[in-house]
Amino acid sequence: MGKVNYGLFVLIMFSLLLVGCIGAESDSIPMQEQIRLRIESISKVGKLSGHHISGHKNRVQDITVENGEAVLKLIASPDFNADGVLSLAIDRSALIFKALFQEERFATLNEVLIEWCYPVTNIKGHASLYPLVVIKLSRTTATTINWANFTTANLVSIADHYWENLNTEELVQ
């Protein structure tokens, strides 16, 4: 009978425990955090909003998930005009919807509502968020989209809900 190598046995057991702990840790990340990380990982959306206003530098302002519905409050990027800001928000919304509805880890999401806001500082230096556009897409609608050939401007027409602030010229200056 051969000699038992306890060192090798301990190393294998330690490795199995370590792998189990890593797997358990990734499963314990709250859905809000998984969504935030996924949004920030989309290169055309990113982590930063492009604003230098304290408290509004990051793209993701707030995320709530309840009963299969995610509500995302995001900071819109600055642009030279209101049409550019809205166009960017719509294009980026399509990228977010695509990512969230196509990935298995977000399969419990039945609806995603994105509210894009724009930070405006008044003459006394106080910043407020003004809603620019709200877009809601259900999983039912998302599954009918051929994302590879989808023109993002069409999101306005096919969304389950679309609202746009008609006074955006005053906000974005």
> pLDDT digit string (tens) for 83-97?
889 999 999 999 999
Task: Read off the tokens for 28.
Answer: 């314990």
Q: What is the pLDDT of residues 38-66, one digit of tens each?
A: 999 999 999 998 888 888 899 999 999 99
Q: Name 161's bridge partners.
A: 136
Q: Do 21 and 94 contact (CB within 8 A), yes or no?
A: no
Q: Model pTM?
A: 0.81
Q: What is the CA radius of gyration of the chain?
A: 22
- Residue 48: DSSP 8-state: B
Residue 24 has pLDDT above 90, yes or no: no
Burial of 26 (0-12, 13-18, 19+ CB in 10 A): exposed
Q: What is the pLDDT of residues 98-140, one digit of tens each?
A: 999 999 999 999 999 999 999 888 889 888 899 999 999 999 9
Q: What is the mean pLDDT of residues 23-33?
A: 74
